Amino acid sequence: MILAVRLLVRQRRVLAVILAMPTLAVAAAPLQGLLPLAAKQHCDECHAIQEVRIGPSFQAVALRYSVEGPAAEERLARKIINGGAGNWGNVPMVPNERVSLEDARAIAHWILSLAPGSAR
Protein backbone atom coordinates (compact mmCIF):
# COMPACT_ATOMS: atom_id res chain seq x y z
CA MET A 1 0.00 0.00 0.00
CA ILE A 2 2.71 2.47 1.02
CA LEU A 3 4.67 1.49 -2.03
CA ALA A 4 1.67 2.17 -4.24
CA VAL A 5 1.24 5.64 -2.74
CA ARG A 6 4.93 6.41 -3.22
CA LEU A 7 4.71 5.32 -6.81
CA LEU A 8 1.69 7.51 -7.37
CA VAL A 9 3.43 10.50 -5.86
CA ARG A 10 6.44 9.93 -8.04
CA GLN A 11 4.30 9.66 -11.14
CA ARG A 12 2.58 12.89 -10.28
CA ARG A 13 5.94 14.61 -9.91
CA VAL A 14 7.08 13.39 -13.29
CA LEU A 15 3.85 14.59 -14.79
CA ALA A 16 4.24 17.98 -13.14
CA VAL A 17 7.74 18.31 -14.57
CA ILE A 18 6.56 17.36 -18.03
CA LEU A 19 3.68 19.82 -17.84
CA ALA A 20 6.00 22.62 -16.70
CA MET A 21 8.45 22.09 -19.56
CA PRO A 22 6.79 24.01 -22.39
CA THR A 23 6.30 27.00 -20.07
CA LEU A 24 9.97 26.96 -19.11
CA ALA A 25 10.98 26.76 -22.75
CA VAL A 26 8.92 29.84 -23.57
CA ALA A 27 10.28 31.81 -20.61
CA ALA A 28 13.87 30.97 -21.48
CA ALA A 29 13.62 31.75 -25.18
CA PRO A 30 15.50 34.93 -26.03
CA LEU A 31 13.69 37.74 -27.77
CA GLN A 32 13.65 37.10 -31.48
CA GLY A 33 16.23 39.12 -33.36
CA LEU A 34 18.00 40.23 -30.20
CA LEU A 35 21.78 40.36 -30.37
CA PRO A 36 22.97 37.31 -28.34
CA LEU A 37 25.30 39.55 -26.35
CA ALA A 38 22.35 41.69 -25.25
CA ALA A 39 20.43 38.55 -24.30
CA LYS A 40 23.40 37.36 -22.27
CA GLN A 41 23.41 40.66 -20.38
CA HIS A 42 19.64 40.44 -19.74
CA CYS A 43 18.91 43.72 -21.52
CA ASP A 44 15.64 42.15 -22.68
CA GLU A 45 14.33 42.17 -19.13
CA CYS A 46 13.56 45.84 -19.72
CA HIS A 47 13.95 46.39 -23.46
CA ALA A 48 12.40 44.99 -26.61
CA ILE A 49 13.32 45.83 -30.17
CA GLN A 50 10.02 47.42 -31.13
CA GLU A 51 7.85 47.81 -28.04
CA VAL A 52 8.31 49.97 -25.01
CA ARG A 53 8.84 47.89 -21.89
CA ILE A 54 10.33 49.27 -18.69
CA GLY A 55 12.82 51.03 -20.95
CA PRO A 56 12.48 52.45 -24.47
CA SER A 57 12.46 50.17 -27.52
CA PHE A 58 15.88 49.73 -29.08
CA GLN A 59 14.46 51.03 -32.36
CA ALA A 60 13.42 54.27 -30.70
CA VAL A 61 16.90 54.60 -29.18
CA ALA A 62 18.43 53.98 -32.62
CA LEU A 63 16.22 56.59 -34.24
CA ARG A 64 17.04 59.19 -31.63
CA TYR A 65 20.83 58.78 -31.55
CA SER A 66 21.66 57.76 -35.12
CA VAL A 67 21.35 61.42 -36.18
CA GLU A 68 24.47 62.10 -34.10
CA GLY A 69 26.60 60.17 -36.59
CA PRO A 70 29.61 58.00 -35.70
CA ALA A 71 30.00 59.55 -32.22
CA ALA A 72 26.68 58.00 -31.19
CA GLU A 73 28.19 54.55 -30.75
CA GLU A 74 30.66 55.60 -28.06
CA ARG A 75 28.08 57.79 -26.34
CA LEU A 76 25.54 54.97 -26.18
CA ALA A 77 28.15 52.46 -25.01
CA ARG A 78 28.93 54.67 -22.03
CA LYS A 79 25.24 55.22 -21.33
CA ILE A 80 24.74 51.44 -21.29
CA ILE A 81 27.46 51.03 -18.67
CA ASN A 82 26.66 54.10 -16.58
CA GLY A 83 22.86 53.96 -16.76
CA GLY A 84 20.87 57.16 -16.82
CA ALA A 85 17.64 58.91 -16.09
CA GLY A 86 15.23 61.40 -17.52
CA ASN A 87 15.84 60.75 -21.19
CA TRP A 88 12.76 58.59 -21.82
CA GLY A 89 10.56 59.09 -18.80
CA ASN A 90 10.69 58.84 -15.06
CA VAL A 91 12.15 55.35 -14.74
CA PRO A 92 15.96 55.40 -14.48
CA MET A 93 18.23 52.73 -15.92
CA VAL A 94 20.52 51.40 -13.25
CA PRO A 95 24.21 51.14 -14.23
CA ASN A 96 25.24 47.94 -16.00
CA GLU A 97 28.80 47.93 -14.70
CA ARG A 98 29.35 44.25 -15.37
CA VAL A 99 29.21 45.00 -19.12
CA SER A 100 32.70 45.64 -20.52
CA LEU A 101 33.30 48.69 -22.70
CA GLU A 102 34.00 46.35 -25.59
CA ASP A 103 30.68 44.54 -25.18
CA ALA A 104 28.83 47.83 -24.64
CA ARG A 105 30.28 49.18 -27.91
CA ALA A 106 29.18 46.03 -29.76
CA ILE A 107 25.65 46.32 -28.33
CA ALA A 108 25.54 50.05 -29.12
CA HIS A 109 26.63 49.30 -32.68
CA TRP A 110 23.83 46.75 -33.01
CA ILE A 111 21.22 49.11 -31.51
CA LEU A 112 22.18 51.86 -33.95
CA SER A 113 21.90 49.40 -36.84
CA LEU A 114 18.17 49.19 -36.07
CA ALA A 115 17.59 52.75 -37.29
CA PRO A 116 15.78 52.86 -40.62
CA GLY A 117 18.21 53.25 -43.51
CA SER A 118 21.21 52.49 -41.33
CA ALA A 119 24.32 51.41 -43.22
CA ARG A 120 25.98 49.93 -40.14
Per-residue string for binding with ligand HEC, 3-32, x by CB under 6 A?
Answer: ------------------------------
Which part of the chain contacts ligand HEC (CB under 6 A), choosing from 4-12, 16-24, 35-43, 112-120? 35-43
Residue 115 within binding range of ligand HEC, rule CB under 6 A: no
Strand partners, 84: 93
Catalogue the long-range contacts made by 61-70 (C-beta closer than 8 Å, 24 or more residues apart).
Answer: 61/111, 62/111, 62/112, 62/113, 62/114, 62/115, 62/118, 63/115, 63/116, 65/112, 66/112, 66/115, 66/118
Binding site for ligand HEC (CB under 6 A): 38, 41-43, 45-47, 54-56, 61, 76, 79-80, 84-89, 91-94, 96, 99, 107, 111
